[in-house]
Amino acid sequence: MIDIKTFNTVGLTIAGRRHISMGKDNEDGYEVFEDERLLALCVADGCSESPCAKAASEAVLEALIEFAQGDIWEMKAKQLKTSVLKTIDKYLLAAPYEYRLLACTCALVIYNKVSDSYISLAIGDCQALVMTEELEPKQLLAPVNIFRPREHTVFANSSMAANAMKIEIGSANNIAGFVLVSDGAESLCDPANADDLMQLSSICILSKENAQTALEEHISNVIAPTTNDDITVLLTMRKNSDRITSIAEATCNTIFDTPITDTEETDEYMTNEGNTDEDNIDRDDIAEAAPSSALLDFLETPRTAEELVVAGYCIPSEVLSYLYPLIKEGFISYSDYHFSAVKGG
């Protein structure tokens, strides 16, 4: 019997500070496609110097998803390059803009559930990493920057795209997941930030919902303040491996002191008759998980993590670890980058 790997996938793309200040749209994007045999993930980053950057990233994402569903698994690297660029050109030429203006970088990972193998490729400065079964990040597709400053790269509509394209094909054995980012989130791929990526990956294995919250919080409070660029992160992690799950649980329990899972928790302190066995309740733990009335009053109005820091309820490096137990216990909710008190929580 084939052991089909299953995954939790989360992603976020947001406009950078420069585009927000100019009133411009986010020119990054991502797409995910999944069926019974494939999981395809791609990110794209339109060139800000082009007036058609958003259209370029949207067209390239459509092209990559179509390419991922094609008959590509017997192709060699050279054939893959030709095929993906042909598909990209089909979509760029169909756009109502000049081809030369549709400049965009991109990265794609396609996982084959049946053969437990992957095809990955990148053009320009988007990049991809694998997370090993030990939850250690390893570079899969490095960004291509042909000059300095780093903004000078290779685009999917460039005559240099074929030569500059990075392609990696391999077995997904000992791989727990994949991470794709645009260059605005390149700091997440820095080896110095490997612990952050391990934490996000661990949460993703245990709970898709909590992972989405963690990713949003990390981007808003850690990545966004350090760049003016648009930011995109796409993360997928295997969720049906006992070994990987145990490592993720150990990581999360170390960070948050409480389990983070999507499964419904049973009340272990209830007896067979349904009466509370008070001897099994750790009241110190309950007290630690309960928020102050001042915090709940403050969160009667939805607040960002930055507002919580400014008000003195958290420090920047501990917003996530402080609020997760309260979200888990139902005291606080998180939506659209804002924390709110839950009425009756």
Instruction: Write the pLDDT tens digit of every residue in 191-246.
Output: 999 999 999 999 999 999 999 999 999 999 999 999 999 999 999 999 999 999 99
Q: Are residues 51 and 170 in the same domain?
A: yes
324 near 256, Cβ under 8 Å? yes
Computed over every residue of the chain, the mean pLDDT equals 85
Nearby residues of 109 by Cβ (< 8 Å), 6 or more positions away: 40, 41, 42, 118, 119, 120, 128, 140, 178, 180
pLDDT tens per residue across span 143-195 = 987 544 445 789 999 999 999 999 999 999 999 999 999 999 999 999 999 99
At 284, which CATH number? 1.10.10
Residue 111 sits in which domain range? 7-255
Residue 259 pLDDT more than 60?
no
Whether residue 260 is contained in a domain is answered as no
Share of residues in the chain with pLDDT > 90 (%) = 66
Whether residue 263 is contained in a domain is answered as no
What is the model's pLDDT at position 212?
96
pLDDT tens per residue across span 62-100 = 999 999 999 999 999 999 999 999 999 999 999 999 999
What is the model's pLDDT at position 294?
84
Whether residue 79 is contained in a domain is answered as yes
pLDDT tens per residue across span 302-316 = 887 767 777 777 655
Average pLDDT over residues 32-53: 94
Residue 345 pLDDT more than 90?
no
Average pLDDT over residues 253-276: 45
What is the model's pLDDT at position 342?
87
What is the model's pLDDT at position 111?
98
Q: d(Cα 139, Cα 279) in Å, to the nearest integer?
A: 49
Closest CA to 167 of 223, 97, 106: 106
**Domain total of the chain:** 2
Q: d(Cα 50, Cα 60) in Å, to the nearest integer?
A: 15
Residue 132: pLDDT band with limits 50, 70, 90: very high
Neighbouring CB atoms inside 10 A of 270's CB total 12
Whether residue 269 is contained in a domain is answered as no
What is the model's pLDDT at position 261?
59
What is the model's pLDDT at position 285?
40
Q: Are residues 227 and 286 in the same domain?
A: no
Q: d(Cα 85, Cα 139) in Å, to the nearest integer?
A: 23
Whether residue 184 is contained in a domain is answered as yes
Q: Are residues 84 and 145 in the same domain?
A: yes
What is the model's pLDDT at position 274?
38
The more confidently predicted of residues 141 and 331 is 141
What is the model's pLDDT at position 337?
63
Q: Are residues 66 and 173 in the same domain?
A: yes
What is the model's pLDDT at position 255?
58
What is the model's pLDDT at position 230?
96
